[in-house]
Structures are given as structure tokens and as C-alpha cells.
Structure 1
């Protein structure tokens, strides 16, 4: 069997010879970017110095052939290069999440490993230990960052394939996520929210009422501007989300969670009436946001989530989260007979299915979805279809 050729940017065995008394030569073959092999050599007055000089020259040659990422690059160095790349192309919130995974876990735990040593077996054991010690969310974030780091190494020729692709998925123990509100109890939930004095005092009741009708994510609802509400046509546009960034505080991020998040949807009549009354009630404040804080600032989604968490037992819906409202809208629309594509358009989901993505146009189901939600808000058990 023929011996495999050296990869581009690699070198063969270093030969050390004393060519004359007191003069040593270190020589090896190096494969250049054009695929050709050439001899590289250095001369010094000792064997060790000659070898060191040659290795320094090879490092320079390697940096010219494939950037700074090699198979022996440490994961700490690779993480820094990955983060530098992401700062140019990702939102501040995403960069912050990635940086926490790098600083709190990857660098201190496995940062001394070389790229080539980050095998699927090692990474799998490491991520399982993170899930056990620090939780499912931390493990998922670390897996995502490691996948991006290794993809960067593959693109730079340091690896042939991404080892994270062979790592098992991080499964959350227990029930998978929030549970939707049963359709037959939806109106009960809305009435409980509208009549809850604490939520009304915190000006959170109408926020949750809006989410329960539109399926907006909590960050999307907190970032909704009045300019995005079309009262003439009964529509709302999702164009920004409220987000907290370390060292910056609350900001409006001018794009959503995914490419499909930006959407304009028809809104149920009852919800548009609530928004109209809210606009009239708040008009003298001059706020640009529909659901700001009591002081007119950007509302922190985490604080609003806490409001719901603190009141859910009193509302009679223990275990409910803001995401339960989003799932509930999907459940109701499915029960009303809407297609997965129409529901995905209404909620801003990225992936209903490849077939539906190809054969169904976007926003075609928005008006029908609003009609079905209108029915649900009036009578959750109604299955009649308005003409």
C-alpha cells in the first residue's frame, strides 16, 4: 500500500547532520500550497539550535499556507479566533451567550487540548459532565460553540470533519419544555389575567393577553413599537426584540430570533380593540413602545417572565410559562384546521417542513389564522369557520 502524501502545510522527518565540524544542518521536506515538495533547511553551530531554527521557519511557512489554525492549535486559541469571527457577524446577545460558554466552561475545562485531540469521545464525555454539573442549557450552549469552533478548524484545514457531528444530542430530562394551555381553558386563562390586580398594577396583563392572541415570543412583544401596529388593516409587524446585553443594558435588536421571525400578521379583532384602547390611554406619554416599563423604558423579558411565574398559581395555571402561550396558539390553530405552513407563518417558525417551504407561500394563512384566533378568544371550543 502506498504511503499517504503529506497534507499541504505539513513537513516530513527532520534530518540533522553535522556537515562540517561545528556546523549542523537541519533539513526536511515541506509541502507548499501548490502541492509541491521542497527542501527546507537551516544551519547553526549546534544540533539543537539548527533544529529549533528549522522548526521556527516551518511555523512561519505553515501560517502562510493555512492561516493560524493547525491540528496542534489549542482549543483556547481556537475559541478566541471563533469569537473574533462571531463578533463581526452575530448579534450582541448571541456573542454574549457564546462568550459565557467559552469563559466559564470551554477554556478552563478543555482549553489546553489541541484541535486534533478534541475527539468525539472526549467531547461527548465533556458535554455530558457539563449537563450533569451545570445543567442542560449550559451543555447545549457549549455544544453549539464547540460545533462552530470545530467547523472553523475544518474550513482552515486543521481537521477533515467536525467531531461534534458525532456527539450525541443534549437531551433535557423530564418533560420536554412548556405545556400549552388546554383549548377549553383558554378563555378562563385570559379572564384570570385580565382580572389579576398584581399583573394589572405591573402593566403586564395586556402584554400576556397580546401574546396569547398572536403567539409572539416574549422578547418580540416587549420590543413591539406603535409604528409596527397597523390599525387600519388590523395587522402587526414583528421587526425588533427586547434584549438585555451585558454592559449595555436593555436594547432593541432590529431583527428577530431567526430569518423567518420578521413577519406581518393579521390580529384578532378583540386584540386590536385592546391595542386601540391602550394607545388612547397611553397617548399623552409619547412612548414608542406598546408594552414599555412603567417608566417608559424597554421592558426586560426576564422580568415579565418572572411576573407570570409569580402569579401563575394564583391564576390557576401552575407550571405555565410565556412560551406556553406560543404553544397554545399553535395548538388552537391546528385544532381549527390550519396547515403547518400557515401556523408557522403566523408564529414566525423557521422550519415546518421542506415540502411546505417549497410549495406554500408565506403569509397566505395570516388572515385565516386571525379569524380562527378570534373564534378561540370568543369561544375556544368553537369549530365553525367564518366565511
Structure 2
């Protein structure tokens, strides 16, 4: 029997009260997330992330508190401590988890209000926000990849160009299959992401939100690169950026490969997320609207009216025209990792 059922069945729901330890409530809340994963409404990678943060951060410091003791003041001190010692991203994750746990406790009668609601807002240090590459830096960085033997063996030059041409998340880019590319129309359909799940290994998973499913027009130089790649590899289906056995690549391994190449260069700050920031910055400087950029990147932070009544799958060639400026570094060097 799951922790959620153990707590709620047999009349125990009436005893989900102020005397329950936060660790017990956390386990029950995680079980509810697991059920949503099984229904396909949450990503298994999200569940793994929550489990890790609960085990490493929340339970060690707050697990012995009773629900009656989970005051706004205590949770605020915890989150500000995490912010100082672990950084904004971890603090934000812990806040999301605590809000979920306490929300679950409110619905079960263990709390009357969610104490996370009034904690101090978490603010990201502006100096630590993602930095974008300038167009000249894009060409310099691509030259670094082109000239690095290890990068070429790991297929990084073409992968970097593909992400810069689309703004895809790394997992999304690694999940693109040849059948997702329509060369006649010049578009790519974003249908999946590659993640590693505890107990299951590497899988192609559903995307994180409805807005992540999108069709993007590809810049002409990217289509040329992909055609040449397909001809060179002689593959009609499977992942476009496959591993040695033709399967999906682990984004963690790919990230590690990028880190190895940039070590000791002027681009040590560049991460796969930098490519998305770069695409957004270039589109913004071209005059593209926030809505157009959100559609390109697969973001969901738009109003309900836009979500429900405005098509997010419409193909817009203007985005590809702007990204033509990111063509390879030298000699039209689009596919230089033969």
C-alpha cells in the first residue's frame, strides 16, 4: 500500500492533523505526485527531482516538525538559508515542494492555511542570470567546437548549431528524430524530450507542458546542415543526434562533454541553456514580440485566453529568417565535423 493510501485509508484521514510530522506529509504528497506521473499528467523527471530535494534538503532540516509547527516564519528562515548556501534554483525548488506539501495538508485538514504563501519572495541575483552570446561570440564558440577533436567525436558542433537554430532545450533536441523533420516544408516538430528516470534508465518522455509541443520553421543553413548530416550518416529514422548504437543520448553526458570542451577557454560560462538565452535575445533585438519568442522556446507563461483560443502550433517563417544570422563560423561552415 502506498504512503498516500496508508495515511488516508481506514479512517486515518480524520487524523491528518496538526500532530502529523512534516516528513510523513511529504511522503504522502510525493505519493500523490507519483500517481499523477502514472496518469501521465506529470513528468517522471519532475518526481525524481522532488524526491531528491525532499530527501536532501527538506526532511533533514524540517522533517521532524509537526504540521502545527510549520509556521511561515520557520519556513521563511529555512528558504532564506537555502538561498544563501545553495542558490536561487535550489531555494525555488524547495519553495515549490513545501507549497505542495502544505497545500496537500490543507486539503486533508492538517493545516488551515498554506504557510508558504507569505514567505519572503525569492529574488534571483541579477549577476547570476543567464548570459547570452553575442552574434560574434556565437561564431567564435562554434569555431572552438569545430577545431576541437573531442567535440567533433562527440558530435557537438552540429548539435550546438541545431540548438542555436531552434532554441530547443537540450533534452528536446536530443529527442528529435529524423521523422520529425519535414524537409519539404522546412520545419521540425518538437514531440518529446530525453530524460533519465530512476529504475527505468534513459527514456523518451512527453514534454513538460502543452506549449512545449510546437512546430518550428528551420533556418535555411540548418536545413542544409541536416540534409548533409542525413546523407553522411545514411539514416532514415531514429534520433538525429544518436549515440553510437543509434539510440538516444543522455543529456547529462552531453552536458559534461560541452563542459570539457569549454574548460580553459573564454567560454567557460557557456551552457546549453545559454543557447536558448541567445536565441531569445536575438529574436527580441529583431523586434519579435514576447508571444512569438515564447512560442519559439515552448514557454507557457501566457494568459489563459492566449493558451486556449490562440494557436501555438502555427508555423512562422519570421523566426527562421532572424536566426539565419547564426550561420556557421567560417566558409559557411555549417557542418564541419566530418
Give, in angstroms, the shift of residue 271 of structure 1.
0.5
> Which among 180, 186, 189 is matched to residue 228 of structure 1?
180
The 1:227/1:83 distance shift into structure 2, 3 A limit, reads: same
Equivalent residue for 1:308?
258
Q: Does structure 2 retain, via aligned residues, the 8 Å contact 1:228–1:237? A: yes
The 5 A counterparts of 1:112-261 are 112-173=64-125, 175-253=127-205, 255-261=206-212
The 1:68/1:200 distance shift into structure 2, 3 A limit, reads: farther
RMSD of aligned alpha carbons? 2.6
Give, in angstroms, the shift of residue 65 of structure 1.
9.3
Instruction: Pick 1 or 2: higher relative contact order, CA cutoff 8 A, min separation 6.
Output: 2
Cα separation, 2, equivalents of 1:214 and 1:176: 24
Moved more, 351-360 or 154-163: 351-360
Give, in angstroms, the shift of residue 198 of structure 1.
2.1
Give, in angstroms, the shift of residue 86 of structure 1.
0.3
The 5 A counterparts of 1:40-79 are 64=11, 67-79=14-26
Give, in angstroms, the shift of residue 313 of structure 1.
5.1
Higher share of residues assigned strand = 1
Equivalent residue for 1:33?
none
The 1:356/1:342 distance shift into structure 2, 3 A limit, reads: same
Equivalent residue for 1:80?
27
Instruction: Say yes or no: does 1:332 pair with 2:279.
Output: no
Equivalent residue for 2:268?
318
Equivalent residue for 2:5?
none
Give, in angstroms, the shift of residue 207 of structure 1.
0.8
Equivalent residue for 1:278?
229
Cα separation, 1, equivalents of 2:25 and 2:10: 14
Cα separation, 1, equivalents of 2:313 and 2:291: 9
Aligned pairs, how many? 316
Cα separation, 1, equivalents of 2:192 and 2:310: 25
The 1:119/1:210 distance shift into structure 2, 3 A limit, reads: same
Larger Rg: 1
Give, in angstroms, the shift of residue 248 of structure 1.
2.2
Cα separation, 1, equivalents of 2:53 and 2:253: 23
Instruction: Say yes or no: does 1:106 pair with 2:53.
Output: no
Equivalent residue for 1:14?
none
Moved more, 289-298 or 148-157: 289-298
Unaligned runs of 5+ in 2: 1-8, 37-41, 330-338
Give the TM-score taking structure 2 as reference length. Answer: 0.84
Equivalent residue for 1:16?
none
Unaligned runs of 5+ in 1: 1-61, 380-387
The 1:141/1:322 distance shift into structure 2, 3 A limit, reads: same
Give, in angstroms, the shift of residue 305 of structure 1.
1.6
